[in-house]
Structure 1
Amino acid sequence: MLYADKYRPKALEDFDLHSDISCNLAKLISQNDCPHALFYGPPGAGKKTLILALLREVYGPGVEKLKVECKPWKIELPTRTLEVEFTTLASAYHVELNPSDVGNNDRYVVQEIIQEMAKNRPVGVSSERMFKMLILNEVDRMSKEAQHSLRRTMEKYSAACRIVLCCSNVSKVIEPVRSRCLCVRVHAPTHPQIEARLRAVAAAEGWALPAQLAARIAQASDRNLRRALLALEACKAQQFPFQEGQAVAAADWELYIQEIAAEIRAEQSPRRLHTVRGKVYELLVNCIPPEIIMRRLALELMQKLDDELRQSVAEQAAFFEHRLQEGSKAIFHIEAFVARFMADYKNFLLAAMA
């Protein structure tokens, strides 16, 4: 078992990093007040951990008896029958899914799932909690039509189910949905907090973790606790016992993006663009989110640029990231960003030589 899962807090009272949030959630549950909720914050901050602890506080340990279902759905539309298949993680009390996995059909999936949940009430719970919970991940990647559909469905079935939303960018969630939820901001842990957590894990495992190595892991994690714990595990596999000057290995996909950025700066041609397209495809096939690829690639490209060109690249990256959210084919928008950068960079080099 990974350390990120092994040392994940199970109950609200076990939280050290977000103790204020967990205490407020426990007070709500004790007063039998469980509204729709929206948890937002950067990756690795602890959103899913808080949601799972909230489920356990409401329903007890029964929520840990999970089953994974890959279920086909037939949704009757006015003009056709829509067939979609997606994976859900469910217990007797809740269902967890990612609506953005089905692309532009996400609005039909949300309606169908909530209607199905409303027909079945959980058993073995108090009368104040006779509702199921639906956990929707990556809500900021849902289409605007799906979010408007979610707003109407939240109102219609509020007595039968509670909806818990999870996202990284709350600005991409429409205001009508946000206004109907209890918004909980889960901030990223600071570097000292990550170092303290790493030392706690090392002490639980019976290791001696050098302070300098813990500081370097925290610095390389970009305030992502999950990433820091995975890096700690990678350092142990690489060299144990730990050394003060031990290097912190970067993730393979990050090294791959650095290689792509170096190739783009080295040559700007249709042939190189075709090569880059194939490598971006490899990242997408290995489940690296396209937004992460776009952001990391832009940062790598801007490292060795003139200030004037750096501003232009940042503007183009923001433009194509917005297009990425609105479109359905991520490779098109990432490739368009790379082509735009190649053209601008080549013109900049020619002007500098002239």
Structure 2
Amino acid sequence: MLWVDKYRPKTLDKMIVHDDIAQHLKKLVTEQDCPHLLFYGPSGSGKKTLIMAVLRQMYGASAEKVKIENKTWKVDAGSRTLDLELTTLSSTNHVEINPSEAGFQDRYVVQEIIKEMAKNRPIDAKGKKGYKVLVLNEVDKLSREAQHSLRRTMEKYSASCRLILCCNSSSKVTEAVRSRCLNVRINAPTEEQIVKVLEFIGKKENLQLPPGFAARIAVQSNRSLRRAVLLFETCRVQQYPFTSIQAIPPMDWEQYVSEIASDIMQEQSPKRLFMVRGKLYELLINCIPPEIILKRLLSELLKKLDAELKHEVCHWAAYYEHRMRLGQKAIFHIEAFVAKFMSIYKAFLIATFG
């Protein structure tokens, strides 16, 4: 088992990071009827860990007994019937789904599937009616129509269902949805907190950490706890005992993006663009989010550019990122950015060197 799963805190009492938020949530769940919750914060900050701990606080160990299902739902969309396939993670008391997986059909997921789930009210051993919890991931990627439908579901089924929403940015969640939830901001952990977690894991695994080694991993993790633990385990696999000058390897996909940036800088041609497209597809099919690919690619290209080009390249990266969020096929927009960059860079080289 990966350390990131092995040492994930299972209860609110065992949180090393965000322990103050954990205690507040424990009080909220224990003492009163829990409201709808919206967890938001950067990737790797610990949102999912807190959500799972909240579910365990509500339902005990049964919240961890989950099954994964790929289910096809038949949804009535006016004049036609749609088949929507969704992956659900469920226990007896909660269901976790990512409605944005349905793309532009996400509103049908919210209007029909979530409504159907919300109707079924669980009954405990004493015959008392409880409430089901629906965990919805990436709600910031839902369309406006889907979010409006979600608001109505939250109001109508609040007696039988509680929603726990999870996203990276609350600014993309409508005010109507946010106002019906208790908003919980999960900040990225500080480097000191990451060091504390790495030292805790090192102690559990009986590892000797050289002075400053955990701090170097924390710096390279970019304040993502998940990434820090993965880097730590990678270092352990590559070389142990650790040394104070041991190299901390970049993630494989980051190395791959760096190679793509080098390919783009070496040659600007349709043939090279076609080759780069194949590499971008490789990243996308390995589940690297397109926004992350574009951001990392921009970062790698900026390292190799003259100062006078940086502003223009950043402008076009922002433009295509915005277009990507509005569109459906991420590859089109990333490829369009690469083509635009090649055009700008080639014109710059011709103007400079003739």
TM-score range (shorter-chain normalised) is: over 0.9
Moved more, 57-66 or 45-54: 57-66
Deviation at 1:123, TM superposition (A): 2.6
- Map 1:1-354; keep pairs closer than 5 Å: 1-124=1-124, 130-353=130-353
Shift in alpha-carbon separation, 1:127–1:44, aligned structure 2, 3 A: farther
User: TM-score, with normalisation over the residues of structure 2?
Assistant: 0.96
What code does the residue aligned with 2:293 have?
A: I
What code does the residue aligned with 1:92 have?
A: T
Between the aligned partners of 1:307 and 1:140, the Cα distance in structure 2 is 34
Instruction: State the Cα deviation string for residues 38-62 of structure 1 (Å, max 9, x = none).
Output: 1111111000000011111111211
Contact 1:99 1:109 in 2 (8 A): yes
Deviation at 1:294, TM superposition (A): 0.8
What code does the residue aligned with 1:24 have?
A: H
Between the aligned partners of 2:124 and 2:340, the Cα distance in structure 1 is 59
Between the aligned partners of 1:107 and 1:204, the Cα distance in structure 2 is 46
Instruction: State the Cα deviation string for residues 281-322 of structure 1 (Å, max 9, x = none).
Output: 111111111111111111111112223311111111111111
Deviation at 1:127, TM superposition (A): 8.8
SS at match of 1:9: coil
Deviation at 1:255, TM superposition (A): 0.5
Between the aligned partners of 1:250 and 1:242, the Cα distance in structure 2 is 17
User: TM-score, with normalisation over the residues of structure 1?
Assistant: 0.96
Between the aligned partners of 2:179 and 2:253, the Cα distance in structure 1 is 37
Instruction: State the Cα deviation string for residues 8-53 of structure 1 (Å, max 9, x = none).
Output: 1111111121011111111211222311111111111000000011
Between the aligned partners of 2:120 and 2:292, the Cα distance in structure 1 is 38
Between the aligned partners of 2:123 and 2:353, the Cα distance in structure 1 is 75
Contact 1:12 1:50 in 2 (8 A): yes
Instruction: State the Cα deviation string for residues 114-137 of structure 1 (Å, max 9, x = none).
Output: 222233222327899711111111
Contact 1:188 1:224 in 2 (8 A): yes
Shift in alpha-carbon separation, 1:235–1:119, aligned structure 2, 3 A: same
Instruction: State the Cα deviation string for residues 215-242 of structure 1 (Å, max 9, x = none).
Output: 2211111111111111111111101121
Deviation at 1:180, TM superposition (A): 1.4
Contact 2:16 2:197 in 1 (8 A): no
Moved more, 9-18 or 331-340: 9-18
Moved more, 302-311 or 100-109: 302-311
Identity %: 58
Between the aligned partners of 2:135 and 2:141, the Cα distance in structure 1 is 14
What code does the residue aligned with 1:82 have?
A: L
Between the aligned partners of 1:4 and 1:128, the Cα distance in structure 2 is 37
Between the aligned partners of 2:341 and 2:320, the Cα distance in structure 1 is 11
Between the aligned partners of 2:94 and 2:123, the Cα distance in structure 1 is 12
Deviation at 1:141, TM superposition (A): 1.6
Instruction: State the Cα deviation string for residues 248-294 of structure 1 (Å, max 9, x = none).
Output: 11111100000000111111111111111111011111111111111
SS at match of 2:162: strand
Between the aligned partners of 1:294 and 1:140, the Cα distance in structure 2 is 18
Moved more, 129-138 or 92-101: 129-138
Contact 1:281 1:331 in 2 (8 A): yes
What code does the residue aligned with 1:316 have?
A: W
Gaps of 5+ in 2: none
Between the aligned partners of 2:65 and 2:235, the Cα distance in structure 1 is 33
Between the aligned partners of 2:286 and 2:53, the Cα distance in structure 1 is 30
Between the aligned partners of 1:152 and 1:315, the Cα distance in structure 2 is 38
Between the two proteins, the alignment pairs up a number of residues equal to: 354
Contact 1:32 1:129 in 2 (8 A): no
SS at match of 2:86: strand
Contact 1:59 1:125 in 2 (8 A): no
Shift in alpha-carbon separation, 1:126–1:318, aligned structure 2, 3 A: farther
Between the aligned partners of 2:204 and 2:144, the Cα distance in structure 1 is 46
What code does the residue aligned with 2:27 have?
A: K
Between the aligned partners of 1:100 and 1:193, the Cα distance in structure 2 is 32
Shift in alpha-carbon separation, 1:119–1:152, aligned structure 2, 3 A: closer
Between the aligned partners of 2:181 and 2:55, the Cα distance in structure 1 is 16
Instruction: State the Cα deviation string for residues 164-213 of structure 1 (Å, max 9, x = none).
Output: 11111222212211121111110011111111110110001111111232
Contact 2:123 2:129 in 1 (8 A): no
Contact 2:73 2:113 in 1 (8 A): no
SS at match of 1:30: helix
What code does the residue aligned with 2:241 have?
A: P
Shift in alpha-carbon separation, 1:262–1:335, aligned structure 2, 3 A: same
Gaps of 5+ in 1: none
Contact 1:32 1:128 in 2 (8 A): no
